Amino acid sequence: MLALPLRLGAHWPAVQKPLISTSTRWFVFPYPRNVSLNGNSPRDHFDRNVSRIPANSTSITGKTNDFVSVSLPKDSPLFGLEDLLVSFILGKKRATEVSHLVWKSVVQKGDTVIDATCGNGHDTLAMLKMVADESCKGSVYGLDVQEAALQKTSSLLEESVGPSEKELIKLFSKCHSKMDEVLPKDTSVRLVAFNLGYLPGGDKTIITQSETTLKALEVAKSIMVPGGLISIVVYVGHPGGW
Q: Is residue 167 part of a domain?
A: yes
Query: CATH number for the domain including 172?
Result: 3.40.50.150
Element at 228 (helix H, strand E): strand 224-235
Q: Is residue 1 part of a domain?
A: no
- Measure the CA–CA gap between 14 and 238, rounded to whole angstroms: 13
**More confident of the two residues 21 and 177:** 177
Q: Is residue 208 part of a domain?
A: yes
Q: Is residue 3 part of a domain?
A: no
Q: Is residue 2 part of a domain?
A: no
Domain, as residue range, for 126: 13-235
Mean pLDDT, the chain, rounded, equals 74
* Number of domain units in the chain: 1
Q: What is the pLDDT of residues 167-196, one digit of tens each?
A: 999 999 999 999 999 999 999 999 999 998
Q: What is the pLDDT of residues 97-150, one digit of tens each?
A: 888 988 998 999 999 999 999 999 999 999 999 999 878 789 999 999 999 999
Q: Is residue 6 part of a domain?
A: no
Q: Is residue 5 part of a domain?
A: no
For residue 124, count other CB atoms closer than 10 A to its CB: 29
pTM for the structure as a whole: 0.72
Q: Is residue 145 part of a domain?
A: yes
Which residue spans within the chain are E strands per DSSP? 25-31, 49-53, 67-71, 112-115, 139-144, 169-173, 189-196, 224-235
